Chains A and B, each alone.
Chain A
Amino acid sequence: MVNYIWVAMMVIGFIVAMFNGTMDKVNEAVFKGAEEAVTISFAMISILVFWLGLMKIAEKGGLLVVLANLFRPIVKRIFPDVPPEHPALGYILSNMVANLFGLGNAATPMGIKAMEQLKKLNGDKNEASRSMITLLAINTSSITLIPTTIIAIRMKFGSESPTDIVGPTLIATAFSTVGALLIDRFFYYRSKKRRE
């Protein structure tokens, strides 16, 4: 599916540009897009190195196991394919906690680390396993307690109550997370049925 979306966005873009007279902008966009991607990746080095370094300390000290034990009943239900003692659980939980507190740049390294563990669990194949897609679903609909960036923007434009969207955001994000998990289950069982 990602192959089709990828090609479609590009080809539709070229066709629209033909009729729109925006071919010069499209030319520019090709190289701007590539440049932006490399810039983002390089900017991520500092964040990845720092948080992964710190997480190694937490891992060696056994902090991740403590965290995993604490939330085991919930996580076991969300990730039934992951064995209860597996190190992936600690990383999954760290990723969820970081998201919860709006620490986007800490959540990413922990999420990647969790993906790495889940890949090992899946026999190092280059296809996404069930648990990986569940982790992805949780991250795209990330539950956030305090959307800090948005509050800052609202303050900048002189809002009388910049934080009054915290409640609605929390409710909306809770709905979308539950919804994402249900959809994840639905597609999992559908693809399982198709394979049989």
Chain B
Amino acid sequence: MSLINSFSIWFVPFLIGFILLYGTIKKVPTYEAFVEGGKEGFSMAISIIPFLVGMLVSISVFRASGALDLMLNFCKPLFDRLHIPGEVVPLALMRTISGSGALGMTSDLIATYGPDSFIGRLASTIQGSTDTTFYVLTVYFGAVGIRKMGYAVKVGLFADLIGFISSCIVVSLLFS
């Protein structure tokens, strides 16, 4: 455990140091290059704003109205039949639309059922094995001004579904 902890603490400084020394050895004007590259970051962040505002307003309306809960109750019998604990289904849906929302739900599930329970482990695995599709879609495409997304949404959502199903299968095989 402490090994993994110290690994993640050491990794970032190591990476930064490595890039800086590599640049210096290769005679790159490091500080000037840093400033030049950093400049782009500002305009990128600004160009994300309209994409993110549109997406987050829609998502928070959907959640606040109770429509998300309604949808979950509607789907619950199906998941019961597949032996997937109903408690983690909201998490799986939330994971695709809101990163912070999903993290809150995972903490909640772990606090309620215990981190070493089946549900606690399943929630942890679901949280760790997929990323928030709508966020990635909005930020990555938004920053470079892609408006026509083609089949990207379908691919992202199917990837989430596979992540959820494989989490369920792997955790049931290893822990129950």
Total interface residues in chain A, CB < 8 Å: 105
- Nearest-CB residue, chain A, relative to B143: A112
Contact (A141, B174) CB under 8 Å given A5-B153, A160-B116 = no
Cβ-based interface call for A61 (8 A)? yes
Look across to chain A and name the residue whose beta carbon is closest to the beta carbon of B97: A9
Total interface residues on B, CB under 8 Å, equals 97
Q: Give bound CA distance, A158 to B136, whole Å.
A: 32
Evaluate whether A142 and B131 lie within 8 angstroms (CB atoms) in the complex, with A52-B37, A111-B140 already known: yes
Q: Looking at the assembled complex, report how far the CB atom of B168 sits from the nearest CB atom of chain A, in whole angstroms.
A: 9
The A interface is mostly helix, strand or loop, or mixed, namely helix
Residues of chain A at the chain B interface (Cβ within 8 Å) = 1-2, 5-6, 9-10, 12-14, 16-17, 20, 22, 25-26, 28-30, 32-34, 36-38, 40-42, 44-45, 47-63, 101-103, 106, 108-109, 111-112, 115-116, 119, 126-128, 132-133, 135-137, 139-142, 144, 146-151, 153-154, 157-169, 171-173, 175-177, 179-180, 183-184, 187-188, 190-191
Q: Is B139 an interface residue (CB 8 A)?
A: yes
Cβ B141 vs Cβ A128 within 8 A: yes
What is the bound-complex CA distance between A102 and B153, given in angstroms? 24
Closest residue of A by beta carbon distance from B11: A101
Interface contact B121-A168, CB-CB below 8 Å:
yes
| Contact status A54-B59, CB under 8 Å | no
Q: B67–A13 contact, CB under 8 A?
A: yes
